[in-house]
Chains A and B, each alone.
Chain A
Amino acid sequence: MMSSYLYIVRNRVREQRVQRGLSQAELAGALDVSRQTVISIESGRYLPSLPLAFRISRFFGMTVDKMFDPDDEVTGA
């Protein structure tokens, strides 16, 4: 059954991008997604698909569970 909850899983995309001195557009180009999607992922509004989550994690040399921490999951109506 589909949950009526909104899931926002916090991630380290913005932190890692800033550390590497990349712009959102540059990261978007490297991941082959739009700049708007990078913005949505960074803000936690959009949960990427599993393949994209792996692409992001590999790009930053991290594991998926380090990049997207399920313990930081926020739920709400």
Chain B
Amino acid sequence: MKRLSRGHLQVPAVMLVLGTGLAAAVLVGQGWRAAIPVEIVAVIATLGYLLLGVLDTDIGAIYGSRTDERQQMIRLRAQALTAEITALAVVIGYMVQVARRAPTWPFAIIALVAAVSFVAGVAIYRAHDI
């Protein structure tokens, strides 16, 4: 078990704030009966993140924001895999929406943001030669 650090608390704090924001949006749109489960999930996810972050494992180091160079590489690869799978899901979602003759703009916006982010990432990081 590792001790909690200040860095460890930042991501869970953001998770809790965003989860509560989502719950507030659900409260406005659908009422408190729908909002309470969203808030419960946000709190459970935040607590889970905090608990995983104190484990003496690679996952614990990543969740606890105390990675060394090898664990940073693991995190980068995991993030790259996440991005690739998300991009694939967006393309599939776009195709499904086209087939259903449903609005495609949410998927188009996500794809555009992803493409712009990738180009920006290449432009930023090639200058650093990491």
Contact = CB atoms under 8 A, between A and B. Distances in A.
B70 A46 contact: yes
Contacts, number: 26
Interface residues of A, number: 11
Nearest to B67: A34
Interface in B51-75: 56-58, 61, 67-71
Interface residues on B, range: under 10
A36 B69 contact: no
Which of A35, A36, A46 has most B Cβ within 10 Å? A36
Contacts of A44: none
A32 B69 contact: no
Interface of A: 32-37, 40, 46, 48-49, 52
